[in-house]
Amino acid sequence: MVLGLMEIRAPDAEPLPPRVIPAMAQALEACLPVRVAGLKPLAAPPEALDGRRSQWSAPALLEAVLASLPDGIPKALGVTGVDLYIPMLSFVYGQAQLNGRAGVVSIARLRQQFYGLPGNDALLEERARKEAVHEAGHLFGLVHCAAPGCVMRLSVQAGQIDLKGEALCEACAARVREVKE
Amino acid sequence: MKPQWQILVVDDEEIMCESLAAWLREDGYLVDTASSGREAVELARRTDYAIYFIDLKMPGGMDGIDTLMEIRRLHPDASIIIITAYATVDTAITAIKEGAQEYIVKPCNPEEISLLVSRIIKVKRLQRENLILRKKLQRRYQFHDIICKSPRMQQVLDLAREVASLRSTVLIHGESGTGKEVVARAIHFSGNRAQKPFIAVSCAALAETLLESELFGYEKGAFTGAAERKKGKFELADGGTIFLDEIGDIGPKLQADLLRVLQERSFYRVGGTEEVHVDARVIAATHKDLRAMVEEGRFREDLYYRLNVIEILIPPLRERREDIPLLAGHFVERIAHELGKPVAEISEDAMRLLMDHSWPGNVRELENAIERALVSCRGEVLASEDFAFLRGNGPARFQAPDNMTLAEMEKRMIEATLRRTGGNVKEAAASLGIDRSTLYEKLKRYGIER
């Protein structure tokens, strides 16, 4: 199956470091039964920005990804440098339609600089790989997993992302195989 | 695989509803959404959701508090979380008063919401397990699970059934292993206290001071090691039944305390000054002759009459032999299944052996005998050889000889013992359990020569 991967650009966002999208593509192909196709960058719709929160609505960006999907691309993941939220929560690292077509991942809170720490590109790439596979896992019907090392484990702090592994646990991998079959 | 817990999100803002639902779905829950209080109540009528997220401010005449109250009326055990964009103490208090479990202010931290939901689900899972276990216990301990066909045992069960829904104290008499606790549990689980606790206490198992704190609890600092206040068995049995096994073994002090509980339905914790009121039905049991103990002054007469409001006598197994095949068959089926053995039946020879045995340990001994036989059994049928231990080690059945006085019997017993010890008086006295001087006196009285 082909999985589209695109950058979502916003005026106030810092550009994605060049290694992030290739690292994500490599991880997605290693963990899921997909072939990644790079799609052209998407401009974030201005109405997705909540000026009071200085954050972008994840559901709105998700809609934009969905609307932009070209023929022949059944599922796609948008990657952005802006900070995402859903109305109920103060932030999210990403969001995806469970068993659906579109997902989004933000790297804003994956950067060490967000927490006032010196930048670390290797750590950022590692976190980006994990979050990309995590959101794409939702597109394949996977829900959060309780296995400590599984990439589908829920993370709500950067430290929790660092603790989990980069791959699906056996049970989640088996479920993806079932879905594919 | 996570169990599919169902959650309903109620908010008039579609984006709020859908994004929270999507987040919860990623966590493996089945989530429905409703855009108004009325729609939520309609959905709640059809589905028993585990958790409801309800927005406090909703237009259309039915706000969050109204919706909460209506849902609580439909599902008193539902967990309701009120969400709002701004918090005031007043609304929080109203929501909690009306039964909301939590009150959260949006936007909240993702960690907060994940922890909240998983905590509620954990409690719900425990409640569900508890309910299943309770139902299992209830099924296991009802009268139809007591296996018997003998008329005497049927009478016992008829009486127990009649008294199940009364509050009156019951005194169960029966030898060890006759199933006194089984009958007590059946009374509890068939009566109107079945949903409340059944607490069993063996009075013979503990020293008197320990038993006192076990029954009545203690206050912090009541004695060395009493670091916290602890509830006693009577308090734990509040609303239910307390089963006091081996009641004939309690000392005078506890007899007095127990009398007070039965009369006043209240007591003091050890080291406490506050009177504790309880509503626990008391079922007591003993294998001792309490009436004789009363006559000998070893058991309080007033307590005896308080306990003996309804008396149930469970006959020993040897007096209801017609129940042995039924019981044996039941134990074979149950224990063979537990041990994973393919044994299906008992041979005729083996059954004759079981019918002839005196069963001093009653039903419990029969159950143990079946288990022991099943462990060693190699075939699919329990044969008499599998019960060889009953012949060897079991107490011999005593047959009283005709036309013999007690003195004659004693004389013959002493002669037989002396023959066995080769005339050694010291050894014979030890074997007979009497002093050497007593034995000499008896030898002289009966004219027995060594």
Facing residue for B110 by CB, picked from A57, A59, A89: A89
Mean pLDDT of B253-282: 90
Q: Flag if A88 and B114 touch (Cβ within 8 Å).
A: no
Chain B nearest-CA residue for A93:
B110
Among this protein's residues, is A135 annotated catalytic? Answer: yes
The least confident of A73-77, A170-174, B93-97, B301-305 is B93-97
Percent of residues, chain B, with pLDDT higher than 70: 94
Mean pLDDT of B93-110: 83
Q: Describe the crossing of helices A58-68 and B14-26 by its angle, rounded to 10 degrees.
A: 80
Shortest CA distance to A133 belongs to which of A67, A77, A59?
A77
Measured between CA atoms, how close is B76 to chain A, in angstroms? 26
Chain A nearest-CA residue for B27:
A144
- Residue to mutate among A89, A106, A133, A145, with most B CBs inside 10 A, is A89
Q: Pairing mode, if any, of strands B198-202 and B170-173?
A: unpaired
Measured between CA atoms, how close is A152 to chain B, in angstroms? 10
> Burial level of A32, CB count in 10 A (0-12/13-18/19+)?
buried
Q: Residues spanned by CATH 1.10.10.60 within chain B?
A: 406-446
Facing residue for B108 by CB, picked from A89, A92, A138: A89
Domain annotation for chain A: domains and CATH numbers? 2-142+171-180 (3.40.390.10)
- Asked if residue B391 has pLDDT above 80, the reply is no
Residues in chain A: 181
Q: Flag if A95 and B27 touch (Cβ within 8 Å).
A: no
pLDDT in tens, B164-183: 888 899 999 999 889 899 89
- Asked if residue B398 has pLDDT above 90, the reply is no
pLDDT in tens, B190-227: 888 888 899 999 887 777 778 888 899 988 887 877 77
Measured between CA atoms, how close is A60 to chain B, in angstroms? 9
Q: Which residues of A touch B26 (CB under 8 A)?
A: 95-96, 98, 138, 143-144, 154
- Asked if residue B7 has pLDDT above 70, the reply is yes
Size of interface A-B (CB pairs under 8 A): 69
Catalytic residue among A29, A135, A170, A181: A135
Assigned CATH topology for domain B141-313: Rossmann fold (3.40.50)
Q: Which residues of B touch A138 (CB under 8 A)?
A: 26
Chain A nearest-CA residue for B9:
A88
Facing residue for A90 by CB, picked from B13, B20, B109: B109
pLDDT in tens, A87-146: 888 999 999 999 999 999 999 999 999 999 999 999 999 999 999 999 999 999 999 998
Q: Is CATH 3.30.450.40 the right assignment for the domain spanning B319-392?
A: no
- Asked if residue B74 has pLDDT above 50, the reply is yes
Q: Which residues of A touch B13 (CB under 8 A)?
A: 87
Looking at residue B114, its pLDDT comes to 83
Q: Flag if A87 and B16 touch (Cβ within 8 Å).
A: yes
Q: Flag if A98 and B26 touch (Cβ within 8 Å).
A: yes
Q: Pairing mode, if any, of strands B275-277 and B266-268?
A: antiparallel
What ranges in A32-166 are assigned the alpha helix state H?
58-68, 121-139, 158-163
- Residue to mutate among B26, B27, B31, B33, with most A CBs inside 10 A, is B26
Q: Flag if B111 and A95 touch (Cβ within 8 Å).
A: no
Alpha carbon dihedral B292, B295, B301, B304, in 10-degree steps, equals 0
Q: Which residues of A touch B22 (CB under 8 A)?
A: 59, 86, 95, 97-98
Report the distance separating Cα A154 and Cα A137, nearest Å. 12
Looking at residue B1, its pLDDT comes to 46
Report the distance separating Cα B84 and Cα B13, nearest Å. 12
Looking at residue B139, its pLDDT comes to 65
| Per-residue tokens: A170 | 């056996």
Instruction: Tell me which residue has tokens 């309490």.
Output: B290
Facing residue for A157 by CB, picked from B27, B111, B113: B111
Interface of B to A at Cβ within 8 Å reads 2, 13, 15-16, 18-20, 22-23, 25-28, 83, 106-111, 113-114
Looking at residue A116, its pLDDT comes to 93
Percent of residues, chain A, with pLDDT higher than 70: 98
Looking at residue B135, its pLDDT comes to 72
Chain A nearest-CA residue for B20:
A88
Q: Which residues of A touch B17 (CB under 8 A)?
A: none
Ramachandran category for residue B297: left, alpha or beta (phi over 0 → left; psi -120 to 50 → alpha): left
Q: Which residues of A touch B111 (CB under 8 A)?
A: 156-157
Mean pLDDT of B87-105: 79
Mean pLDDT of B70-91: 83
Measured between CA atoms, how close is B16 to chain A, in angstroms? 5
Q: Flag if A98 and B2 touch (Cβ within 8 Å).
A: no
Q: Flag if A90 and B19 touch (Cβ within 8 Å).
A: no
Chain B nearest-CA residue for A95:
B23
Q: Flag if B114 and A97 touch (Cβ within 8 Å).
A: no
Looking at residue B399, its pLDDT comes to 60
Q: Rounded mean pLDDT of chain B?
A: 86
Facing residue for A86 by CB, picked from B23, B111, B114: B23
- Asked if residue B143 has pLDDT above 80, the reply is no
- Asked if residue B9 has pLDDT above 90, the reply is yes
- Asked if residue B295 has pLDDT above 80, the reply is yes
Assigned CATH topology for domain B6-132: Rossmann fold (3.40.50)
**At residue B400, what are phi and psi to the nearest 5 degrees?**
-70, 125
Q: Residues spanned by CATH 3.40.50.300 within chain B?
A: 141-313
Facing residue for A154 by CB, picked from B15, B27, B109: B27
Q: Which residues of A touch B19 (CB under 8 A)?
A: 58-59, 86-88, 95
The pLDDT-based confidence of B137 (bands split at 50, 70, 90) is confident
Q: Flag if A90 and B27 touch (Cβ within 8 Å).
A: no
Looking at residue B127, its pLDDT comes to 85
Q: Which residues of B touch A87 (CB under 8 A)?
A: 13, 15-16, 19-20, 106-107
Q: What does each C-alpha distance from A35 to A3, A18, A26, A72 come to in angstroms? A: 6, 20, 9, 12
Buried b or exposed e, range B259-277, using 16+ CB within 10 angstroms:
bebbeeeebebbebeeebe
Mean pLDDT of B41-57: 91
pTM: 0.56
- ipTM of this complex prediction, to 2 decimal places: 0.77
Measured between CA atoms, how close is B104 to chain A, in angstroms? 10
Assigned CATH topology for domain B406-446: Arc Repressor Mutant, subunit A (1.10.10)
pLDDT in tens, B318-352: 999 989 998 998 899 889 888 888 877 899 989 99
Note whether A84 and A95 are within 8 A (CB).
yes
Chain B nearest-CA residue for A103:
B22
Percent of residues, chain A, with pLDDT higher than 90: 80
Looking at residue A172, its pLDDT comes to 94
Facing residue for B13 by CB, picked from A87, A92, A97: A87
The pLDDT-based confidence of B140 (bands split at 50, 70, 90) is low
Chain A nearest-CA residue for B21:
A88
Q: Rounded mean pLDDT of chain A?
A: 92
- Identify the bridge partners of residue B81 per DSSP, sorted by sequence position: B53, B102
